[in-house]
Amino acid sequence: MQLYAGLGCRRGCPARELAALLQQTLFAHHLPTSALAGLASIDLKADEPGLHELARQLGLPLVFFSAAQLAPFESRLSHRSPTAFALSGCHGVAESAALALAEQRGGANAALRLPRTVQGAATLALAWAPPFDG
């Protein structure tokens, strides 16, 4: 199983905070770090050093999507944040980004594996693209 992590964060969120959220979430759900196939966020965060440092530490690609690219995933979100929408044009950065990357890399049947988790200045969601059963 390949997992795709969607990440949201406040400005200046350090890599250690993002990494702690990711590791704690994976551990709590008995998921191996080796299952991670990529990280994603909204393009407004493309200049966040913490996101780039986390990707470098994990040796994973980091992909950014525009709010327009994330918009089609709104109906699949577990939570819609008016605050996030006001700031970014996206109702849920972590979940939308995880789904967008899972769909881009794994196919159209991408689904949330874990809905958003919030800790401090960071949010995380995990998505995957399950094999087609039909």
Question: For residues 13 and 11, what is the distance between their CA atoms, to the nearest angstrom?
Answer: 6
pTM value is 0.90
CA distances from 14 to 9, 29, 79 (A): 9, 23, 24
Tens-digit pLDDT profile for residues 74-127: 888 788 777 776 677 676 899 999 999 999 998 888 999 999 999 999 999 999
Q: Which pair of structure tokens corresponds to residue 17?
A: 């905070």
Topology of 3-128 in CATH? Nucleotidyltransferase; domain 5 (3.30.420)
CB atoms inside a 10 Å sphere around CB 57: 12
What pairs with residue 36 in β-bridges? Answer: 3
Q: Where are the domains of the chain?
A: 3-128
